[in-house]
Chain A
């Protein structure tokens, strides 16, 4: 075991593959003995083969910057992240519970708004959320389902527990990488994959299609489902194509669609064809120029009215973003208790609302110990990580917070868990495999019943010491192996 004997987990963080005595954790033995024992040349060759497969398959995302657009692959690490059956079963229960509550919250605030009347969540926070949509008030989608697809970002703290860092209940992306990563791993290490008894992820497209069909208006037995994409210039376009292909449904753009008499149709060479369920991957603001941005060409005029008329189901529904608002996040444990009468199974990362003067004073006193996030942003934009910021950056953050405290939250810095990752020759004496921080985004589907993809997207921060796993900022991904019971 050449590599693993040279591998040293970082101090003071949870290592996903080894315990404190450097013994492999539950379920990890075979991965350690088969993969971590490989030499640098073999590991690098595996990564090269993986990259070539992604490129050939066209598993790329678009990057814009210089004048020419480029297609890049999402960096892939061949050492899989393993989650044993018991740990996963517990996670899965917590995820389903959470998404049920978030969905109930969205249906409630655009309907009777009981939770606001009961004072459990402050009304002004909901109404002033950048993701609150007046157009959704009074909407009653089939099955009461606003959130059909959710991606929940989890991190593992020093104590080895999973915490929710963020919810994504608008148009969460990344699931195609889960599917493609598995295809690639099945080619790289077929025997290892089988002997470990890894649970398949292949049923996701069928599960997604089933969840969508269950939303069909009027119980239409053979609904026509279509996936709405902003088009090939969107960074997630590959995923839109892949999901449409795997589900066997049409991939449509706004210009393919038209609403006639409150029904949705696509334009085919043989005339208009009715659509019953639309899985949309464009933001609320672009969905329907009649009620949102009038200049949008990406959506369909009249779609919101057709939704109200009950002739078409749209997943996810309008206005779901209010449930993944970074401020309202602080109230999610309360929501679970309020709607389900249960204690939350998954803890959230401690979240401080800086609108509260006492909280704000306490946080500002120790700002270098917190992560500050603007409520309205996503994708890691505008985030200030206290311990990594200069005095000047902290001063600027303090100034921004004091000017507009309602727009910020603060969370303690979580030392994300680490995972052995192929780095190559680093020159500092460390082996070719080194610890790097990871997170996990599982995907939850909520149709007539919940369905959870076994695993999810493990993102890894490839830069040493970095806690930021976003693909736009040097992140890569790993295959996630949930072991069978």
Chain B
């Protein structure tokens, strides 16, 4: 059974929005842990969040000078920020509402419950209940959603569009994480390799659920090239850019069903780049440049998907 263009579009965006919400939750959570563990000198622990998300300007326009409360509000609950966790959940739920006949009722029920609960969230409630509790609960709910997706949905074309949304967003997010760590968290080159640097790299890995994977592969010593290797080029780590882009390629191959397509070509190009590059090369050529290039290729894939399958001619 094929899938309507409109439905495919909604599936794609529902998955993308949910992934974005989850990533946001991870970022804030990790940053909060970092704040708890970091020596006091680090005066602005929350501002990197804005840089990682690429939303300094959007924040300034709505909230002015950043402080902890404002940034949390902007990141978590602000309906005027289309990328806040609440707004992303709303977008995912609105998209799902129009296609709930094509997904499992379990998935709808769980997502709708998350949406209803998100309507009651407030910063005051969050602070009184504790940030740790809030985020660990939220993380579990996102895991449950992805479990329901995996346990109840048929692996059909619709599923492939869900995969596209999730994996493109995840690939994009992991590259942003690396980029901003490199340029913003630690602008002073003298600090590279120092204790704060290591703490921060550990936090970055943790936000991608990668700290344990890193330790198993490379031991306790955290080195930039190995972090880059895990987050960008590892073929088995489920959140590496390469892993995600290969999933995108697989989904596009199934969707295209043997016929050549621009979107598949774009995804294959990016996958090949990630498979062939090494961390040493990427760092030598400028990690920032490499990461920006990968982000722009992700955007090319998304726009080719739109042209190939979602646009109403």
Bound form: Cα–Cα A275–B64 in Å: 54
- In the complex, the answer to whether B101 meets A245 with C-beta atoms within 8 Å is yes
Total number of A-B contacts with CB less than 8 angstroms? 61
- In the complex, the answer to whether B157 meets A269 with C-beta atoms within 8 Å is yes
**Which residues of A sit under 8 angstroms from B310, Cβ to Cβ?**
269
Bound form: Cα–Cα A242–B113 in Å: 18
Residue of B nearest to A250 (CB): B4
Interface size on B, residues (CB 8 A): 25
Residues 140-188 of B at the A interface (beta carbon under 8 Å) = 157, 161
- In this complex, the interface size class of chain A, counting residues with CB under 8 Å from chain B, is 20 to 34
Bound form: Cα–Cα A427–B103 in Å: 47
A400 within 8 Å of B (CB atoms): no
**Which residues of B sit under 8 angstroms from A48, Cβ to Cβ?**
none
- In the complex, the answer to whether A269 meets B105 with C-beta atoms within 8 Å is no
- In the complex, the answer to whether B6 meets A256 with C-beta atoms within 8 Å is yes
Q: What is the predominant secondary structure among interface residues of chain B facing chain A?
A: helix
Bound form: Cα–Cα A270–B309 in Å: 8
- In the complex, the answer to whether B6 meets A269 with C-beta atoms within 8 Å is no
Q: Which of A52-60, A142-150, A293-301, A356-364 contacts B (4 or more CB under 8 A)?
A: A52-60
- In the complex, the answer to whether B109 meets A252 with C-beta atoms within 8 Å is no
B112 within 8 Å of A (CB atoms): yes
- In the complex, the answer to whether A56 meets B109 with C-beta atoms within 8 Å is yes
- In the complex, the answer to whether B5 meets A58 with C-beta atoms within 8 Å is no
Q: Please pick, from B4, B108, B161, the residue contacting A58 in the complex, using a CB distance under 8 A.
A: B108
Residue of A nearest to B94 (CB): A232
A388 within 8 Å of B (CB atoms): no
Within the complex, what minimum Cβ distance (angstroms) separates B262 from chain A?
14
- In the complex, the answer to whether A241 meets B101 with C-beta atoms within 8 Å is yes
Q: Please pick, from A232, A251, A252, A269, the residue contacting B8 in the complex, using a CB distance under 8 A.
A: A269
Within the complex, what minimum Cβ distance (angstroms) separates B152 from chain A?
13
Digit string of A237-278 for contact with B (CB within 8 Å is 1, else 0)?
Answer: 100011011000011110110000000001111110100000
Which of B4, B97, B157 has the most chain A CB atoms inside 10 A of its CB?
B4
**Which residues of B sit under 8 angstroms from A266, Cβ to Cβ?**
4
B255 within 8 Å of A (CB atoms): yes
- In the complex, the answer to whether B5 meets A268 with C-beta atoms within 8 Å is yes
Residues 188-246 of B at the A interface (beta carbon under 8 Å) = none
**Which residues of B sit under 8 angstroms from A232, Cβ to Cβ?**
94, 97-98
Residues 274-298 of A at the B interface (beta carbon under 8 Å) = none
- In the complex, the answer to whether A56 meets B98 with C-beta atoms within 8 Å is no
A/B interface sample: 7 pairs, CB < 8 A: A57-B112, A241-B101, A245-B100, A252-B4, A266-B4, A268-B3, A268-B5
Knowing that A56-B112, A244-B101, A251-B99 touch, tell me 20 more A-B residue pairs with CB under 8 angstroms.
Answer: A56-B109, A56-B113, A56-B116, A57-B112, A58-B108, A231-B98, A250-B4, A250-B101, A251-B101, A252-B4, A255-B6, A255-B312, A267-B4, A267-B312, A268-B4, A268-B5, A269-B3, A269-B8, A269-B310, A273-B2
List residues of B whose CB falls within 8 A of some A CB: 2-6, 8, 94, 97-101, 105, 108-109, 112-113, 116, 157, 161, 255, 257, 309-310, 312
List residues of A whose CB falls within 8 A of some B CB: 55-58, 231-232, 237, 241-242, 244-245, 250-253, 255-256, 266-271, 273
